[in-house]
Structure 1
C-alpha cells in the first residue's frame, strides 16, 4: 500500500499579499457552513461543515454537544463513525438503565460529562437542595453529548486567518445542577491543528459535581493492523502493538487507565499513526487540567474503534457517595486541547 495520500495536497503560501484580490471572500482557501441533515437517522440536526487550504475538514454536531463529529484530511476520514449514523433527536442517556449513551455514540469527539463520566452508577443525592432525591442516577458518560447547543457564532476571520465556531451547551434540571459548556473551535486557514478551548461554568448557587472526558475516537483507515501509538505512551505503545487492531466478531472491548509523565512544560502529547497511509493524529493538552487518560480498544467486527480519552480525575463511588471534582457556585474551569493531523506529503 502506498504511504502517500490518495492525491497530493497543494502547497499554498500563507503570506500571499494578493490574496484579497484573488479570493475576495476567501472561499478558495476555506469555509464553514451551517447545514441541516435532510434524511436518515440524523434528519433535522444542525451541522457546521468546514474545510481549509491545508486539506483539513471537520464537522461540528451543533445539536449533539457541539462535538467534532468528523475529522478528515483530503478525502480520508480519520475519526470513527458508528452504526448509529448520528441519530437525532438523541436518546435520553438515562434510558435503558443508564446505557442510552450507546444508542447515540458516534463521531470523532464525544464529550462526556459534565457531572460524571464512566459506567452507569447510583449515588447519594443532595437532599439539602432537593429532599425528593435521596439518590441520584448517573448515566453512562453523563448527559452533555446528547444536548443541543446554542450557536454563538461561526465564520471565517480574514484578519486572523482562521475558521472559528462557538457554542454553549447547557445541562440543567429544576432542583439540580446547572452547568454550561462554553466551547470555541479554531483552525488556521493554512494549518493542520484544530484548537479547542472549553470553559465549564457552574451557573447555579450550590456546589456541583464536575467531571469531563474527551472521548476522541479513531476508525478505519487510520486504525488498522499497521497502526501504532505515538507520543508519550511509552511502554503502553509496545503493549498496544502486541494486540494489533484487527476486527473479529468475538473480540471484547478493553479499557486501560494510564498514568503518563508530562514533558517539562507539563504537557502531554499522545496520538496514533498508520504508516501504511502516511497519516497520524496527535492530541496535546495540559496534564494538570486533564490528569486521567483512558484508552478504549474495541476491535469487535462492526464496531472497530480506538478511543484515546483525556479527562479530569476518574469519578468513583465510595460508601454510596460520588467522589469527583467540585465546581463552586458561579465558578468555572478552563480546558484546552490541540488536535494535529500529520501527513507524509
Structure 2
C-alpha cells in the first residue's frame, strides 16, 4: 500500500454523517484488521456512535458521541476496561452534569479511557472568572469537566502506508462558549496490525483571542483480569502521597490491591513520576502472579502529574482502579492555580499529548516492563509520605 486511504464518517460543516460502515482487511490493506462504524439503539445508549477497531489481536471501541473516549477493549481475550454500575455507553443527552451537587458526570461513567477536562479536570468547584462585562464572577465547575460528554463534529478513518500500515481514527471535539474559554481537541487514535497497543495523540488548541488555562487528565480504568487480590501498581516515582485521611489508612499497601470488598471507600494517591531524560515514563497494573499487565505510557514533559485511584468495591459497585496521568492533579481548579500547576495557552496555541495503552499477556512480557520501570527508577529513592502534603491536596 502506497497511498493514504480515508473514509469521512462525520463532518458537520459539510453535512456528512455516515450511519454505518464496515471495512475489512482487503479494504484497509492491513492483514486481519477491520473497522466498523454503527449507531447504538435503545435505552441510555440510544444514538451513541461507536467505532469498533480490530487490528487482528487488539479490539477496542471508540465513542465519537462521548468526546472520543475509549469504551472498552480486548487483547487476545483479555478484557481491557471494567464493569461499571452504569449500563453504557450513555448518550450525553441523558447526563445532567449539574445533578447531585455537580456530580452528574458519574451517571455516564463506564469507559476504559475517559478524558477529564478541558476547562476543569477535578472535583466540583467554584471559580472566579471575568464575565461578559469584564467583572470577576463566580462560575460553577462540574466534576471532571465537559469534554467526555461532547460529541465530535468531525470523524474519519485513515490508513497510512508504511512497513506496518497504521489505522487511525481521527476526531475533532470543540468545548467552547461565548464569553468563556474555547478549546479544540484534535485526537488521533492509532494502531498497527497485530499490535498489543494503541496510541492516542491529542492536540488541545485555544480557539480564543485571549490566554486560556486548561486542564486534561486521562482516567484510565481497569478491572479484572488485571485487577484482582494481590495485583500491584508498578510505576517509577520520586514521591507518593495520600490525598486525604482515607488514603492515609492504606499508605502501607498503596501499591497493592484487595479482592472485591463490600463497603470499600475509594483511596487516591498523588505521584510525582520519574522519567527518562526525554520525559518518557509508564505505569503498569499487573495481576497477582505477574502473568499479565496493562500499561499506560505517557510523557512527563506533556503531563507531569499522575494519580492512582483505588476503588476495590464489590463487583456490583464498581471494582476498578484508575491510572491517571494529567497536566495537573484533579483537585479544585483554584487550588491547582494557587500551586502553579495550571497550564495556559496563548491565543491559537496548542499543547500536544501522546500516550499509549499496552497489554502484556505473558510473565516474560510483564517482567520486561518491570525492568523498564526499574531502569527509570534507577538509584533514586521513592519518598512515600504518610500524611497528605499541603502542596498536593486541596
Q: Could you state the TM-score of these two structures normalised by the residue count of structure 2?
A: 0.75
Match of 1:7 in 2: none
The answer to whether the 8 A contact 1:114-1:211 is kept is: yes
The answer to whether the 8 A contact 2:71-2:112 is kept is: yes
2:104 corresponds to 1:91:
no
2:321 corresponds to 1:306:
yes
Distance 1:130 1:68, change over 3 A: farther
Separation in structure 2 between the aligned mates of residue 133 and residue 84 of structure 1, nearest angstrom: 38
Equivalent residue for 2:40, pick from 25, 37, 42 = 37
Match of 1:187 in 2: 191
Match of 2:347 in 1: 329
**Alpha-carbon distance, 1:71 to partner:** 1.8
Distance 1:239 1:216, change over 3 A: farther
Tell me how large the CA RMSD over aligned residues is: 2.7
2:55 corresponds to 1:58:
no
* 1:24 counterpart SS class: helix
The answer to whether the 8 A contact 1:112-1:213 is kept is: yes
Match of 2:209 in 1: 205
Separation in structure 1 between the aligned mates of residue 169 and residue 276 of structure 2, nearest angstrom: 30
**Alpha-carbon distance, 1:163 to partner:** 1.7
**Residue by residue, what CA displacement relative to the aligned partner does 1:246-269 show, whole Å, maximum 9, x if unpaired?**
222221001111112212432111
The answer to whether the 8 A contact 1:31-1:155 is kept is: no
* 2:153 counterpart SS class: strand
**Alpha-carbon distance, 1:68 to partner:** 0.9
Separation in structure 2 between the aligned mates of residue 322 and residue 125 of structure 1, nearest angstrom: 18
Structural mapping, 1:141-180, within 5 Å: 141-157=144-160, 159=162, 160-180=164-184
**Alpha-carbon distance, 1:328 to partner:** 1.4
The answer to whether the 8 A contact 1:122-1:137 is kept is: yes
Match of 1:341 in 2: 359
For structure 2, the 5+ residue unaligned runs are 1-24, 241-249, 364-394
Separation in structure 2 between the aligned mates of residue 321 and residue 135 of structure 1, nearest angstrom: 17
**Alpha-carbon distance, 1:101 to partner:** 0.8
Greater helix proportion: 2
Separation in structure 2 between the aligned mates of residue 145 and residue 239 of structure 1, nearest angstrom: 34
Separation in structure 2 between the aligned mates of residue 297 and residue 291 of structure 1, nearest angstrom: 20
Distance 1:233 1:81, change over 3 A: farther
Separation in structure 2 between the aligned mates of residue 320 and residue 221 of structure 1, nearest angstrom: 38
Match of 1:11 in 2: none
* 1:149 counterpart SS class: coil
Match of 1:16 in 2: none
Equivalent residue for 1:217, pick from 221, 227, 232 = 221
**Residue by residue, what CA displacement relative to the aligned partner does 1:151-174 show, whole Å, maximum 9, x if unpaired?**
331144455522210001111112
The answer to whether the 8 A contact 1:269-1:283 is kept is: yes
Q: Could you state the TM-score of these two structures normalised by the residue count of structure 1?
A: 0.85
Distance 1:241 1:97, change over 3 A: closer
Paired residues, number? 321
**Residue by residue, what CA displacement relative to the aligned partner does 1:280-331 show, whole Å, maximum 9, x if unpaired?**
1111111111111010001121211100000012354259989622211111
The answer to whether the 8 A contact 2:83-2:319 is kept is: no
Equivalent residue for 2:278, pick from 255, 261, 265 = 265
**Alpha-carbon distance, 1:41 to partner:** 2.0
The answer to whether the 8 A contact 2:233-2:255 is kept is: no
The answer to whether the 8 A contact 1:130-1:175 is kept is: no
The answer to whether the 8 A contact 2:217-2:327 is kept is: yes
Separation in structure 2 between the aligned mates of residue 322 and residue 116 of structure 1, nearest angstrom: 15
**Alpha-carbon distance, 1:138 to partner:** 1.1
Distance 1:245 1:90, change over 3 A: farther
**Alpha-carbon distance, 1:132 to partner:** 7.4
Distance 1:233 1:108, change over 3 A: farther
The answer to whether the 8 A contact 2:228-2:288 is kept is: no
Equivalent residue for 1:229, pick from 230, 233, 236 = 233
Structural mapping, 1:235-254, within 5 Å: 239-240=252-253, 243-254=256-267
